[in-house]
Amino acid sequence: MSFMEQSRNQAPRGWRKILYINWPLVLLVIAVSSFGFLMLYSVAGGELDRWARPQMTRFAAGLVIMFVVAFIPLSFWRQVSPLAYVFGLVLLVVVMFFGSRGMGAQRWIDLGFIQLQPSEVMKIALVMVLALYYDWLEPKKVSRPLYVLLPLLMIAVPAMMVVVQPDLGTGILLVLSGGVVMFLAGVSYWYFGAALSLAIGAVVAVMLSRGTGWQLLNNYQYRRIDVFLDPSLDPLGAGYHITQSKIALGSGGLSGRGFMEGTQSRLNFLPEKQTDFIFTTMAEEFGYIGTTILLILYTLIMIFAISAALKNKNRFGALLIGGIAATFFFYFALNMAMVMGLAPVVGVPLPLVSYGGSAMMVLLGAFGLIQSAHIHRPR
Amino acid sequence: MKKPINTAHEKNRSLTRRALVLGGMQAAVIGVLNWRMRDLQVTQSSEFRLLAEENRIRDRLIEPERGLIFDRNGIALAQNNPNYRIVMIREQAENAPLVLAELARIIDLPPEKREAIYNEMRKRAPFVPVAVAEQLSWEDFARVSANAPSLPGIITEVGLNRFYPMKEDYSHIIGYVGPVSEYDLERFKNPDPVLQIPGFQTGKTGVERELEDLLRGVAGSKRVEINAVGRVMRELGRNNGKKGADIQLTLDHDLQNYAQYRMQGESAAAVVMDVHSGDVRALASTPGFDPNQFIFGIEADYWNGLIEDEYRPLADKTISGAYPPGSTVKMVTALAALEEGLVDPKEEIYCRGFIDLGNRRFHCWKRGGHGNMDLTNGLKQSCDVYYYEISQRVGIEKMALMARRFGFGAKPPLPLPSLSSGLVPNMQWKFDRYNERWQVGDTLNAAIGQGFVLASPTQLAVMTARLASGRMVQPRIIQRIDGVAEPVEQAPSLQLKPENLDLMRLGMFRVSNETRGTAYSSRIDEPSMAMAGKTGTAQVKGISLAEREAGLADKEDVPWRFRDHALFVGFAPYDNPRYSISVVIEHGGSGSKAAAPVARDIMLRALYGTTPPIEAYPRNLWSEIREQQAQEPPPNPRAAPADGSDRA
């Protein structure tokens, strides 16, 4: 554990840490979130108090959390990783029995001041515990079956618990984020090839099981798949979301209708216009130029995060940054693909932009972890 | 730093490699996302923009305001009153019967009516508004509006509703409007979409029907932005359409109202016409009905009362009634003979009360005979034998041609439905119709307006106008359309010898102004207003001569429907004719007793424009007329002219 001593020796101390923060990343996060405030203001029809102001308040709180997390030495986070994972599992069990229902799924724990979504916590905790696992594991052992099975279980248990909530989108995100950490850790390509084949096999099995006694998914999930493949099957029912979303997106054109000039979301043609479908409002009002700018901002976040991971010689830190960045990536890529009709509607918010308290807090906390790994990296 | 550097180095290189692979895959995904954005937002943008417009923009029709109808002095005869109404859109009400039941707690809406409304809604597309209640009181309307949030799909609106302030007076001429029926939609060649508006009304009879295209106007439209549940968020644009044209009739309300009043209690018709312009001043048919009853669907009792009445209130007798004109056509018979030079006005023909033709005897109305009759005397005393004689000389073909020249046998060019063309028989007609040869007896009957001859009261007024003016005057009832006067051209000449026409006018003057004239007792005593006329008493088919001779001729004993029709035609003033008039009283008895006094009163009203001075009547009638005038009710409540005097 000598490299830990070394890193502690070379790491900045006290308030000087603020100078070592990865500031471009912070500014990019603020820029994307501000984009979100604008959109929340717009979809509320120019009403600040409806969504924009609460979102800004939470963002401010989230920033505080981010800095606090960033200033705490990475060694602390390394040590609490298993605890965070267990805590996440406990929360998932709790939500199974005591959670509030929302949108047909049991996902929330009402803590009074905030509605906590355990699956959000789990996304980060899973990345943390996997990073710790591969930091502990000798690199040459990573591809041994027994050492592959353990992280797979660590991923599968929470993922299954989330899927039965049911929240397929977050379940897939958990699998993908965990997979990315395994990938970065150097697990053999053969396993990923096998996993891909398994996934394809699973899809085939899911489709074949339809209507039989051992049907693997709920009917509404099958319907989403059908409608995803052909939205015109049900333009006013299940396909309504996709159809309306594409109309709003496409009608924005190159430069958009202008801020506050969007018609589709304001006239309620769009569902969940302030959460999962907020990207369409942005697309309608700011056009292709606006959506490209947002995509560039997200890409820049990814570039800064990945380069931070590459610079980080601490294996735990590098894996943590890479895993969190990948989770973030899956968030926005899935959301955009979903609203643009490239992926089924699985209910993934647009990170930092969609209205929602706990997702925002957890995400900013995760960026705090990235910063902590960055500040406390070995030099 | 105890660990081998190689391993650590190797480990980091592996991670770097993996991170770059991952970054590359992410870059590829981002590339796909951006390509998709471009595809949707740039390549297919115009298509989606169109879909978005369709999503939020709806065009709604605005009902045009129906044109108003005025009399010649600008008195409103058909106007539009505000109508507080309720419509319902099925797709906005989740449970339509429940909403209707809820509504029934606020306004009076019996279950059977609710069921009818619900059935109507199910027949139509779910987004089509269906009328639930019309003509609500302001209180009910306000109550429903206040409760609107708990009545999904219920919409309160203020429409316009036709109102006929003069009620019975114009029931036949103006007609009425009613909701558009399936039949109407088929009737119009190119149905205007405005007809689909719930409760939209279209002309059903009379001028309302015949001038529908002018009165309806052009529907406007408003472009509204709606949200996902169809609620109107704001109005984007509006085209108000065009109000229907206002129609000013040639009718004179005071005269029309008086004529309707004067003939009340009778089944009768009267037409007053300007002999020069053809302007119809009055077109009265009694009994009438209240057209307002028809606007929202008539009640069964009222309807049954109308169709069971043997006085036929629904029929416009002035234009659709076809009556044997009786002696009122004798001028036409005489002119046919005069123009051909077949009779000398001075020539006297002896009337002994009948003539024999083969084994048939044709009677004069005066059983004892008139003795020697010349042309004008024959008219004055309406000697049938004189006309039997001259008609044999002329023959039916010449008589028929002359009758057509006076407007018989053709529909008058009026914008009114069910116009009768009457009937002018000739040899060919009889052969076509009955496959029988024309008999001389048929000619004799035609000469005195009996047998096959039929004419409407309007045709009789036209005939009289043509006699008075010597021109082919055509009747008209439309004076102005939207303030623009309809052109009046001087009618072409009848091409008859003036001295012959003068003889007819003189004969008619003698009818009304000389003792023993058949209308002497109904003369006008003011010389400058003197009327020239002709009475007619038309036998009703079905009563045989034998029955007549068997003593059934006494009017009081004959059932109403077998009594003779009483007719009168005339024009005045004799010196300078202005108006012609025809009066037909169905089963009224004799023309001189029943029709002539009515014609005199209406003509005086037309000439004076108000209640005529007593001096216009013969002195022996003064007390009777004074009493009659005293009982006269004030004119039908008059609406103020709609916009000033420019319509007058």
Question: What are the domain boundaries of chain B?
Answer: 59-249, 253-288+318-476+500-631
Q: Residue B645's pLDDT is what?
A: 36
pLDDT in tens, B241-272: 888 999 999 999 999 999 999 998 899 999 99
Classify A311 as helix, strand or coil.
helix
Q: Which residue has the higher pLDDT, B368 or A213?
A: B368
* % of chain A beyond a pLDDT of 90: 40
- Mutation pick from B5, B12, B15 vs chain A, by most beta carbons of A within 10 Å, is B15
pLDDT-based confidence at residue A3 (cuts at 50, 70, 90)? very low
Residue B469 has pLDDT above 90, yes or no: yes
Cβ-count burial B631-640 (b if 16+ within 10 Å, e if not): eeeeebebbe
Residues of B in contact with A269 (CB under 8 A): 55-56, 227-228
Decide if B2 and A310 are in contact by the 8 Å CB cutoff. Answer: no
Which residues sit opposite B484 in a β-bridge?
A: B481
Please state which of the four CATH numbers 3.40.640.10, 3.90.1310.10, 3.40.50.12780, 3.30.420.40 is assigned to the domain occupying B59-249. Answer: 3.90.1310.10
Q: Give the whole-number percent of chain B exceeding pLDDT 90.
A: 50
Q: Closest by alpha carbon to A174, among A92, A98, A83?
A: A92
Residue B195 DSSP class: G
| pLDDT above 50 for B647 | no
Inter-chain residue contact B26 with A283, CB threshold 8 Å = no
Q: How many Cα atoms sit within 13 Å of B535 on the Cβ side? A: 35
CB contacts under 8 A, A 114-153 vs B, are: 139
B14 shares contact with chain A (CB less than 8 Å): yes
**B566 confidence band (pLDDT: 50, 70, 90):** very high
Q: Residue B10's closest chain A neighbor by CA?
A: A139
Asked whether the beta carbons of A73 and A374 are under 8 A apart, the reply is: no
Cβ distance of A250 and B48 shorter than 8 Å: yes
Evaluate the omega torsion of the peptide bond into residue B111 and state whether it is cis, within 30 degrees of 0. no
Whether residue B2 is predicted with pLDDT greater than 50 in this model: the reply is no
Share of chain A above pLDDT 70, in %: 87
| Test the B interface: residue of A3, A127, A241, A247 with most B CBs within 10 Å | A247
Give the closest residue to B331 by CA, choosing from B594, B552, B570, B134: B570
Judged against a pLDDT cut of 70, whether residue A231 lies above it is answered with no
Confidence of residue B5 (pLDDT cuts 50, 70, 90): very low
Other Cβ atoms less than 10 A from the Cβ of A255: the count is 13
Among partner residues B19, B29, B40, which is closest to A310 by beta-carbon distance? B19
Backbone angles phi, psi at B288, to 5 degrees: -105, -165
Least confident stretch, B54-63, B142-151, B540-549: B540-549
Residue B332 has a pLDDT of: 94
Q: Cβ separation of A250 and B226 shorter than 8 Å?
A: no
Query: Which pLDDT value is given to residue B215?
Result: 92
If you average pLDDT over every residue of chain A, what do you get? 84
Contact between chains at B15 and A186 (C-beta distance less than 8 A): yes
CA distance B149 to chain A (A): 19
Q: Confirm or reject contact between B236 and chain A (CB < 8 A).
A: no
User: Are B374 and B345 in contact, with CB atoms under 8 Å apart?
Assistant: yes
B274: three-class secondary structure by DSSP: strand
Q: Are B159 and B199 in contact (CB under 8 A)?
A: yes
Residues 6+ apart with CB under 8 A from B414: B280, B319, B458, B475, B476, B477
CA atoms within 13 A on the CB side of A325: 28
Contacts of B40 in chain A (CB under 8 A): 246, 249-250, 283, 340
The DSSP annotation for A177-197 comes to HHHHHHHHHT--HHHHHHHHH
* Matching fold, domains B59-249 and B253-288+318-476+500-631: no
Give the mean pLDDT of B95-116.
86
Helices (H), A230-314: 240-251, 278-311
Please indicate whether, in this complex, the C-beta atoms of A253 and B42 are within 8 angstroms of each other.
yes
A297 interface with B at CB cutoff 8 Å: no
Distance CA B534, CA B557 (A): 26
Contacting residues of B for A186, CB less than 8 Å apart: 11, 14-15, 18
> B54 pLDDT exceeds 80?
no
ipTM of the complex: 0.89
* Nearest Cα residue to B365 out of B175, B157, B193, B593: B593
For residues A247 and A269, the answer to whether their CB atoms sit within 8 Å is yes
Indicate yes or no: CB of A267 within 8 angstroms of CB of B33: no
Of B462, B492, B493, B580, give the one whose Cα is nearest residue B532. B580
Which residues on chain B are in Cβ contact (under 8 Å) with A309? Answer: 15, 19
* Record: contact A185-B41, CB cut-off 8 A: no
The residue-averaged pLDDT of B275-300 equals 89
For tokens 């089924």, name the residue.
A344
d(CA B272, CA B464): 10
B471 vs B477: CA distance, rounded Å: 18
Give yes or no for a contact between B365 and B382, defined as CB atoms under 8 angstroms apart. Answer: yes
Query: Which range is least confidently modeled, A230-234, B68-72, B159-163, B569-573?
Result: A230-234
Q: Mean of the per-residue pLDDT values for chain B?
A: 86
Give B89→chain A minimum CA distance, Å.
19
DSSP B629: H
pLDDT of residue B269: 95
**Among candidates B255, B244, B227, which has minimal Cα distance to B66?**
B244
CA–CA dist B303, B309 (Å, integer): 10
Nearest-Cα distance to chain A for B31, in Å, is 10
Q: Is A326 on the interface with B (CB under 8 A)?
A: yes
Judge whether A63 is closer than 8 Å to chain B, CB to CB. no
Nearest CA in chain A to B7: A139
Residue B103: how many CB atoms within 10 A of its CB? Answer: 23
Beta strands (DSSP E) in B302-370 are 349-351, 354-357, 360-363
Number of helical H runs and strand E runs in chain A: 14, 3
> What are the residues whose beta carbons fall under 8 Å from the beta carbon of B222, sequence distance 6 or more?
B59, B60, B62, B235, B237, B238, B239
Q: Is A187 in the B-facing interface, judged by CB distances under 8 Å? A: no
The better pLDDT of the pair A61, A14 is held by A61
Asked if pLDDT for residue B646 goes beyond 80, the answer is no
- Report how many Cβ contacts below 8 Å link chain A to chain B: 139
Of B557 and B361, more confident: B361
Q: State whether B56 and A267 contact (CB < 8 Å).
A: yes
Residue B3 has pLDDT above 50, yes or no: no
Collapse the DSSP code of A298 into the 3-class scheme (helix H, G, I; strand E, B; otherwise coil) and give the result: helix
pLDDT in tens, B474-500: 999 999 999 899 888 889 999 999 999
Q: Flag whether residue B229 sits within 8 Å of chain A, measured between CB atoms.
A: yes
Mean pLDDT over A237-256 rounds to 77
Q: Which of A256-270, A343-357, B108-122 has the lowest mean pLDDT?
A: A256-270
The band of A267, judged by pLDDT with boundaries at 50, 70 and 90, is: low
CB contact under 8 A, A340 and B36: yes
Any idea which fold B253-288+318-476+500-631 has? Beta-lactamase (3.40.710)
The verdict on B232 touching A (C-beta cutoff 8 Å) is no
Band the pLDDT of B419: cuts 50, 70, 90: very high
Q: Identify any residues that bridge with A109 across adjacent strands, giving them in sequence order.
A: A116
pLDDT of residue A199: 86
What are the b/e assignments for A35-54, b being 16+ CB within 10 Å? bbbbbbbbbbeeeeebbbee
Q: Is the pLDDT of residue B163 over 50?
A: yes
Give the minimum alpha-carbon distance from B1 to chain A in angstroms, rounded to a whole number. Answer: 6
Q: What is the mean pLDDT of residues A322-345?
A: 90
Among A212, A216, A199, CA closest to A163: A216
**CA of B48 to nearest chain A CA: how many angstroms apart?**
5
> What's the confidence (pLDDT) of residue B1?
41
User: In this predicted structure, what is the pLDDT of residue A333?
Assistant: 94
One-letter amino acid at B137 equals: S
